[in-house]
Amino acid sequence: MAVSGFEGFEKRLELHFFGDHNDPTVTMGLRLIDFDSLNQVLRVVQCAVVSAVGNHFFDAYVLSESSLFVYPTKIIIKTCGTTQLLKSIRPLIHLASDLGLTLCGCRYTRGSFIFPESQPFPYVNFKQEVICIEENLPDTLCFRKASVMPSKLPSYSWHAFSAGDAEHFPADDTFTVEVCMTELDRVMARKFFKTSHDSAAAKGMAELAGIDGINPRVIVCDFEFDPCGYSMNGVDGDRYSTIHVTPEDGFSYASFECVGSVYDDQDGIVETLKKAVQVFKPATVSVSTTSLHREVWTTVARAMEPLGLKCRSFVMDEFPAAGTIVFQTFTEARRK
């Protein structure tokens, strides 16, 4: 019987809504959902809020299993372990409807689980996940696509589903980068084991590992888990970033996710990605970029190659309601 550890690879759900722009509630939108209602949704998903921060643009919650970001017309929820993420779709649509908001876009992504046999239904295979999502979406989201994007590394694939309506296609210049790292450097991974029960220990953990240097501009909201593990949400104006670490040897994993704009200084994006990966010194990295602009993916290789990581596979696919998704995998250059 296979030994199972904690599943680091996250499931990620992004829901977009629209409403009457003349309605004053739209300026706050989904942020008006009360905390008790959010908690009820999270209970169904099988996680809870452990830390939170907000600013003028959005609210960021660190969860017992990853993160939740709530914007006026967008929700991003990312959960690891054996959580039931897709059970959040229907109640979130209902809560948004109570605020006069209607679902117009959905995106679901995940990597390949380290312990697939431990996942509950429907996460046993992607086809079942897609069926589950589609059962919960309104018919108005008629532009749909599901794809498993393969790589040359047998246990690394990117699973993506998107759905959108005919009127509210994404038209912004932002992009999302999702980085998944495995086989973390053992010395670095030890820094994510709890050595103190002091509430300031999480900050010390971030400083020890160098996480605080990835983007010094962000407001950090983080949490240290007992006996090990670390989660962080970064808030920088209207942009979020997030880091999650499962440091146990044999199934060590870390993720870094951020958003940017095609108008940003591309060297800055390269530097941020380089710093994030450098913190963990992983042997294997997979990166997914989602954007309406195809060239965004080029920044990824520029960030990885100076770290001694070689691109092993590259897959590009178009999603009508999300844009272009590019999935790349990297391993140490000295590996054959």
Any catalytic annotation for residue 135?
no
Residue 64 bears catalytic tag: no
| DSSP code at position 191 | T
SS3 readout for 51-93: EEEECCCCEEEEECCEEEEECCCEEEEEECCCCCHHHHHHHHH
Cβ-Cβ contacts under 8 Å for 130 (sequence gap 6 or more): 146, 161
Active-site residue (options: 67, 151, 231, 286): 231
Active site residue 65: no
Is 231 one of the annotated active-site residues of the chain?
A: yes
Task: Answer yes or no: are the C-beta atoms of 162 and 106 closer than 8 Å.
Answer: yes
Active-site residue among 47, 65, 80, 168? 80
* Count of Cβ atoms closer than 10 Å to residue 295 Cβ: 11
Question: 230 has which bridge partners?
Answer: 224, 245
Residue 10 annotated among the catalytic residues of the structure: yes
CA–CA separation, 16 and 69 (whole Å): 12
Question: Residues 106, 244, 255, 286: which is the catalytic one?
Answer: 244
As a whole number of angstroms, the distance between CA 80 and CA 10 comes to: 4
Which two three-digit tokens encode residue 36? 């008790």
Active site residue 4: no
**Nearest 5 degrees, angle CA 146-CA 70-CA 66?**
70
Of 66, 67, 88, 252, the catalytic one is 66
- The residues that bridge with 326 in the sheet, in sequence order, are 289, 316
Q: What is the DSSP letter of 9?
A: P
Annotated catalytic sites, by residue?
7, 10, 66, 80, 231, 244
